[in-house]
């Protein structure tokens, strides 16, 4: 054995001894990080604001051949109600799940039931809100929403994301679980799918929070967030730690946050997080995070502990540089029009 090899062996042995004595563990994944799969979701799958979102919603419903699954927090748009009734009459299997605590949904439920459309209230416990918002067509395409299907919802500054790969089938499977939870009768959704893998992660409830924690902690350059409300303590701490290690952490918040959560805002701003407030018109509807300009997460509501623990929430995590680039462009414009 050469002298150089002997020295290297001694160094490795001593390092292992130090780890053993100190009680530390050697984490192989940290030495050899796992490559994150990339999604092929294109920029054109992002729909921004009222006209684009609404027109795509109508187009997708009209294109349905076999099934339409809708889950919405609030739904009272008269045109979309009539469109679902028309598709149901044509023989398409239309299923609708609504949050039971919203007054507007009671009127919508009565309208749809009177026309023999299968509609149910999601069986939430008192105090639990179903914030899930998506449309699934033929178990092959899905539109994931920031806004609810209401006049006020569509007026807000928000986005929708169209899925056409395996994640659309996964969304149909999640809807089937919610439907079975409501009616005890699962839908006929295939156990496997031939749709192409798109590497998009769907999460519900507490798993939404975990997705956020994971993405924040692994970001190395930037974390840009637009959100109605952020108060969840672990997320606040994760953002502060990201800023401390050099990430460009930005928050665009609703104007109401200045009076609702002043202590949280002070804690974030004094620890290196840059905060601006979106103009009141149009209202901010986004619940979005962009990580390292290459991936993003869209969730169904604000990031509070109550949302993750009590409510029925939903998110998609999309590691697509192409789709993210469109959102980066939007966020840059929003940042410029927002104020400190």
% of the chain surpassing 90 pLDDT: 81
Q: Provide the pairing of β-strand 295-299 with 314-318.
A: antiparallel
Asked if residue 16 has pLDDT above 60, the reply is no
pLDDT band per the 50, 70, 90 thresholds, residue 310:
confident
Mean per-residue pLDDT, 176-185: 93
Lowest mean pLDDT among 5-19, 63-77, 232-246: 5-19
Question: What per-residue confidence (pLDDT) applies to 115?
Answer: 98
Question: What per-residue confidence (pLDDT) applies to 28?
Answer: 42
Q: Which listed CATH number (3.40.47.10, 3.40.50.11400, 3.30.870.10, 3.40.710.10) goes with 201-337?
A: 3.30.870.10
What SS3 state is found at 193?
coil
Q: Please name the residues in contact with 205: beta carbons below 8 A apart, sequence gap of 6 or more.
A: 308, 311, 312, 313
Asked if residue 23 has pLDDT above 70, the reply is no
Domain 43-183 belongs in CATH node 3.20.20.150: no
Please state the φ and ψ torsions of residue 94, each to the nearest 5 degrees: -105, 125
Asked if residue 271 has pLDDT above 80, the reply is yes
pLDDT band per the 50, 70, 90 thresholds, residue 228:
confident
| 321, two tokens | 């540089």
Asked if residue 20 has pLDDT above 70, the reply is no
Do 43-183 and 201-337 share a fold? yes
Mean per-residue pLDDT, 259-271: 93
Calculate the CA 225 to chain-centre distance: 12
> For the chain, percent helix, then strand, then coil, each to nearest 5?
45, 25, 35
Domain segments of the chain as ranges: 1-34, 43-183, 201-337
Lowest mean pLDDT among 124-133, 159-168, 297-306, 331-340: 124-133
| 190, two tokens | 């295939």
| Rg over CA atoms, the chain | 23
Average per-residue pLDDT in the chain?
Answer: 91
Question: What per-residue confidence (pLDDT) applies to 329?
Answer: 98
Asked if residue 258 has pLDDT above 90, the reply is no
Question: What per-residue confidence (pLDDT) applies to 322?
Answer: 98
- pLDDT one-digit tens code per residue, 89-116: 999 999 999 999 999 999 999 999 999 9
């Amino acid at each position: 054995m050469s002298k150089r090899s002997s020295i290297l062996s001694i160094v490795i042995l001593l390092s292992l001894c130090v780890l053993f004595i100190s009680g530390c563990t050697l984490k192989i994944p940290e030495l050899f990080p796992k490559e994150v799969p990339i999604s092929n979701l294109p920029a054109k799958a992002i729909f921004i604001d009222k006209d684009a979102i609404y027109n795509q919603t109508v187009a997708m419903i009209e294109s349905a051949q076999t099934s339409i699954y809708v889950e919405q927090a609030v739904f009272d748009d008269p045109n979309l109600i009539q469109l679902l009734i028309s598709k149901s009459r044509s023989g398409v299997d239309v299923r609708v799940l609504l949050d039971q605590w919203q007054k507007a949904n009671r009127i919508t439920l009565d309208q749809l039931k009177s026309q023999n459309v299968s509609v149910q209230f999601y069986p939430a416990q008192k105090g639990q809100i179903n914030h899930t918002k998506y449309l699934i067509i033929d178990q092959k395409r899905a539109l994931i929403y920031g806004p609810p299907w209401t006049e006020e919802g569509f007026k807000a500054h928000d986005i929708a994301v169209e899925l056409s790969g395996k994640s659309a089938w996964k969304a149909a499977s999640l809807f089937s679980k919610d439907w079975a939870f409501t009616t005890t009768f699962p839908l006929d959704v295939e156990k496997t799918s031939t749709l192409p893998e798109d590497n998009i992660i769907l999460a519900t409830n507490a798993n939404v929070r975990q997705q956020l924690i994971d993405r924040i902690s692994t970001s190395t350059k930037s974390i840009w967030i637009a959100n109605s409300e952020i108060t969840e303590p672990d997320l606040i701490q994760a953002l502060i730690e990201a800023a401390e290690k050099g990430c460009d952490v930005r928050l665009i918040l609703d104007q109401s946050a200045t009076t609702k959560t002043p202590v949280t805002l002070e804690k974030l701003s004094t620890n290196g997080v840059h905060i601006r407030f979106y103009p009141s018109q149009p209202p901010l509807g986004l619940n979005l995070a962009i990580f390292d300009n290459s991936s993003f997460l869209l969730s169904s509501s604000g990031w509070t502990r109550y949302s993750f623990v009590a409510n029925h929430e939903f998110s998609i995590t999309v590691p697509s540089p192409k789709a993210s680039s469109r959102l980066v462009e939007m966020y840059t414009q929003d940042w410029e029009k927002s104020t400190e």
